[in-house]
Chain A
């Protein structure tokens, strides 16, 4: 019997009100306290929505200044890194500053904790934090120090481990390691089976001694070339797929949980709830997975807030239907 859960899978869209305040703050029309208040209210509003639609792992939406880009808490908070050039984030019209590794990569454990909206932790459901997986970080960073990809992979994983232990101690209940780099290969070949095994080992290092629930989410590309081997290689409890890109027919039986990215986070087009429910039921039948976390295909920051919230609401209705109408 499959358990159906619901969670966000990435950075959420800022509200129009927060957007105006950030613009005013940049132009020095409002002070930092006004900005902080706006972010707090935005997070509270998102939390209220998550409660309303039945989200099982709460997220703060990673909308605040520490998450100016998905790598920024790492770039700003880990030792041995500095901010490099501005480049495009995969196939989106969003951008990030390349982390340049020019010293020993270290963590004191608090970089991610400082980046979450801490008032939302321990608010009734497990709190979820979403971070770049070792492959994504290492492919997007510019290494001028180690000169060895595998070395960087494991050093980053060790630093992440320090962070995750600290997060667990503060009450965080779920960590999602996001891996767009695994599937968004564009003109590059999929990574080899050996490289996937190596990534799995790096993830084991990152999760060593950590008991919070973990997921590994792939998006912006088709993951079918890694199936079914990914289930054995990656040690997280849940493995995630962007089903707007990956054909569900490529799945097979697994004892792992799934993160099912079933609504398209890149389009406001409102999917049909019944169709989504049937798609999830087929995934459940095909995989026999013990749990499926319904999720957007990736970050909902690629569409305006109203549409992002609507997508989350839609997922809530799918979950309700899958549970036979029970809340």
Chain B
């Protein structure tokens, strides 16, 4: 087994030649040049075909737009497989960077019955999500990730995973109109009533998501990453238990490797998830840490302040795999590769896990960065892991 295997953890930015045709905006020379430059840089098969397609510049048919999405899946796969400064380094565990999805909430919600989009809500700064309201019990409409997965599996050389947004997150980011109204009729204390509404909504969603995952596994998916950014949103003991319960209900009896990704907890950190988190029957927990860390090199606790929560895994006797976020994704100010190396080495030190069980990844999805910054982040992951590998193997 390789020490410090690497993985992408979420989205990659979309190129302008991928987004403009969907907005009805004609392409300009710079868009086509981007396709050519990045295609050559990452030796993307079929770049010539893409350039021919893009020469149309405007008025793309639905079939042509579909091909553009497939090309952007391909670009993402090859960016991941060829990231890093050494020839052919690449990430070990890849996928297609959310290129076929609007984003991690809107796509699944569009594919599940019972939801109605009601408008945009601000997450932070000028970042928003399109909120949907649940108006009827969730219903399976089809496998909203299958085509994307089949394409990725066919074109990736490296090991493939498929990220799936979990029930807690869809519940937490939605307007709980149906279950809120249902439980409002019960004569109960307000807090108990709102938790009951959340729980029923979550567990109903879990049944639908389970069906989607089962379909992916039947079509060859071997590794599924459950995306649970909302794991730290509702912070009562009951809610944390529900995070684990929903995960286990979604995945029970399904034959695949399951991992969990979460990020950006409140100021108290990941401690609020323990010990209930460890009830999840999953192979790997991948969390964000670099966001809170310093840009200094060093293996001491002060230099590595962002990684202090990792000790929780040691304290609770965890012996499984971890994914460690070593590059902050909401800034263009990037660390030196030596800092990334030290973040990795420090993670190994405090968790006392064998290096083969520590996956290295960006903190979260890179969709808010430019392609130039995103690939630098992936390079840092690959190159930082290579440096750390040298240290532990020396």
Write the residues of chain A forming the contact surface with B, with a CB cutoff of 8 angstroms. Answer: 13-14, 16, 19, 22-23, 25-26, 68-69, 84-96, 98, 139-140, 142, 186-187, 222, 243-247, 267-269, 301-307
Decide if A23 touches B126 in the complex (CB within 8 Å). Answer: yes
Question: Which A residues are CB-close (under 8 A) to B176?
Answer: 267
Question: What are 25 A-B contacts defined by CB distance under 8 Å?
Answer: A14-B122, A16-B120, A19-B128, A25-B126, A26-B126, A69-B124, A84-B292, A85-B292, A88-B233, A88-B266, A89-B266, A95-B264, A186-B268, A187-B272, A247-B190, A267-B175, A267-B180, A268-B133, A269-B181, A303-B121, A303-B131, A304-B131, A305-B119, A306-B118, A307-B118
Given A87-B267, A90-B266, A304-B118, verify A22-B291 contact (CB < 8 Å).
Answer: no
Decide if B235 touches A187 in the complex (CB within 8 Å). Answer: yes
Decide if A86 touches B234 in the complex (CB within 8 Å). Answer: no
Instruction: Indicate whether B278 reaches chain A with its CB closer than 8 angstroms.
Output: no
| Least CB distance, B299 to chain A, in whole angstroms | 20
Question: Which A residues are CB-close (under 8 A) to B114?
Answer: none
Q: Give A14 to B124 CA distance when docked, in angstroms.
A: 12
Question: Which B residues are CB-close (under 8 A) to A269?
Answer: 175, 177, 180-181, 184
| Least CB distance, B327 to chain A, in whole angstroms | 14
Q: Which residue of A lies closest to B368 (CB)?
A: A26
Decide if B173 touches A91 in the complex (CB within 8 Å). Answer: no
Q: Residue B235 contacts which of A91, A245, A246, A302 (CB distance < 8 angstroms)?
A: A91
Question: Which A residues are CB-close (under 8 A) to B175?
Answer: 267-269, 303, 307
By Cβ-Cβ distance, the 6 closest A-B pairs, closest first, are A304-B119, A95-B124, A186-B235, A22-B126, A85-B292, A88-B266
Decide if B122 touches A187 in the complex (CB within 8 Å). Answer: no
Q: Residue B120 contacts which of A25, A85, A245, A304 (CB distance < 8 angstroms)?
A: A304
Decide if A245 touches B190 in the complex (CB within 8 Å). Answer: yes
Decide if A91 touches B119 in the complex (CB within 8 Å). Answer: no
| Least CB distance, A163 to chain B, in whole angstroms | 23
The listed residue with most A CB atoms (<10 A of its CB), out of B190, B194, B265, B306, is: B190
Question: Which A residues are CB-close (under 8 A) to B264?
Answer: 86-88, 95
Decide if A16 touches B119 in the complex (CB within 8 Å). Answer: yes
Instruction: Indicate whether B123 reaches chain A with its CB closer than 8 angstroms.
Output: yes
Q: Which DSSP category, helix, strand, loop or mixed, fits chain B's interface?
A: mixed
8 A-B pairs besides A84-B292, A88-B232 with CB distance below 8 A are: A26-B126, A85-B291, A88-B266, A91-B234, A187-B268, A268-B177, A303-B131, A304-B131
Q: Give A186 to B268 CA distance when docked, in angstroms.
A: 10
Question: Which B residues are CB-close (under 8 A) to A13?
Answer: 119, 121-122
Instruction: Indicate whether B230 reaches chain A with its CB closer than 8 angstroms.
Output: yes
| Least CB distance, A271 to chain B, in whole angstroms | 9
Q: Return the CB mask of B105-139 against A: 1 if under 8 Å, else 0.
A: 00000000000001111111110110101000000
Instruction: Indicate whether B330 reaches chain A with its CB closer than 8 angstroms.
Output: yes
Instruction: Indicate whether B52 reaches chain A with its CB closer than 8 angstroms.
Output: no
| Least CB distance, B119 to chain A, in whole angstroms | 2
Question: Which A residues are CB-close (under 8 A) to B172?
Answer: 93
| Least CB distance, B127 to chain A, in whole angstroms | 9
Instruction: Indicate whether B189 reaches chain A with its CB closer than 8 angstroms.
Output: yes
Given A88-B265, A93-B233, verify A19-B122 contact (CB < 8 Å).
Answer: yes
| Least CB distance, A278 to chain B, in whole angstroms | 15
Instruction: Indicate whether B393 reaches chain A with its CB closer than 8 angstroms.
Output: no
Instruction: Indicate whether B237 reaches chain A with its CB closer than 8 angstroms.
Output: yes
| Least CB distance, A308 to chain B, in whole angstroms | 9
| Least CB distance, B239 to chain A, in whole angstroms | 8
Within 8 A of A (CB), among B324-381: 330
Question: Which A residues are CB-close (under 8 A) to B234?
Answer: 91
Instruction: Indicate whether B191 reaches chain A with its CB closer than 8 angstroms.
Output: yes
Q: Give A186 to B269 CA distance when docked, in angstroms.
A: 13
Instruction: Indicate whether B236 reaches chain A with its CB closer than 8 angstroms.
Output: yes
Q: Give A93 to B230 CA distance when docked, in angstroms.
A: 7
Q: Give A269 to B122 CA distance when docked, in angstroms.
A: 19
Q: Which residue of A lies closest to B118 (CB)?
A: A304
Q: Which residue of B lies closest to A93 (CB)?
A: B173
Decide if B191 touches A304 in the complex (CB within 8 Å). Answer: no
Question: Which B residues are CB-close (under 8 A) to A90?
Answer: 266
Q: Which residue of A lies closest to B133 (CB)?
A: A268
Q: Which residue of A lies closest to B194 (CB)?
A: A244
Decide if B291 touches A302 in the complex (CB within 8 Å). Answer: no
Question: Which A residues are CB-close (under 8 A) to B128?
Answer: 19, 23
Q: Give A25 to B176 CA distance when docked, in angstroms.
A: 32
Q: Give A272 to B141 CA distance when docked, in angstroms.
A: 33
Q: Give A222 to B236 CA distance when docked, in angstroms.
A: 13
Decide if A306 touches B123 in the complex (CB within 8 Å). Answer: no
Q: Which residue of B lies closest to A69 (CB)?
A: B124
| Least CB distance, A87 to chain B, in whole angstroms | 5
Decide if A92 touches B233 in the complex (CB within 8 Å). Answer: yes
Q: Return the CB mask of B139-150 against A: 1 if under 8 Å, else 0.
A: 000000000000
Question: Which A residues are CB-close (under 8 A) to B265?
Answer: 87-88
Decide if B121 touches A302 in the complex (CB within 8 Å). Answer: yes
Q: Which residue of B lies closest to A23 (CB)?
A: B126
Q: Give A94 to B129 CA distance when docked, in angstroms.
A: 10
| Least CB distance, A175 to chain B, in whole angstroms | 24
Question: Which A residues are CB-close (under 8 A) to B235?
Answer: 91, 186-187
Decide if B267 touches A98 in the complex (CB within 8 Å). Answer: yes
| Least CB distance, A14 to chain B, in whole angstroms | 6
| Least CB distance, B350 to chain A, in whole angstroms | 19
Q: Give A269 to B134 CA distance when docked, in angstroms.
A: 11
Decide if B266 touches A68 in the complex (CB within 8 Å). Answer: no
Question: Which A residues are CB-close (under 8 A) to B190?
Answer: 222, 243-247
Q: Which residue of A lies closest to B331 (CB)?
A: A86
| Least CB distance, B31 to chain A, in whole angstroms | 14
| Least CB distance, A327 to chain B, in whole angstroms | 29
| Least CB distance, A92 to chain B, in whole angstroms | 7
Question: Which B residues are CB-close (under 8 A) to A92?
Answer: 233
Question: Which B residues are CB-close (under 8 A) to A140?
Answer: 267
Question: Which A residues are CB-close (under 8 A) to B330?
Answer: 86
Decide if B191 touches A301 in the complex (CB within 8 Å). Answer: no
Q: Give A86 to B133 CA distance when docked, in angstroms.
A: 27
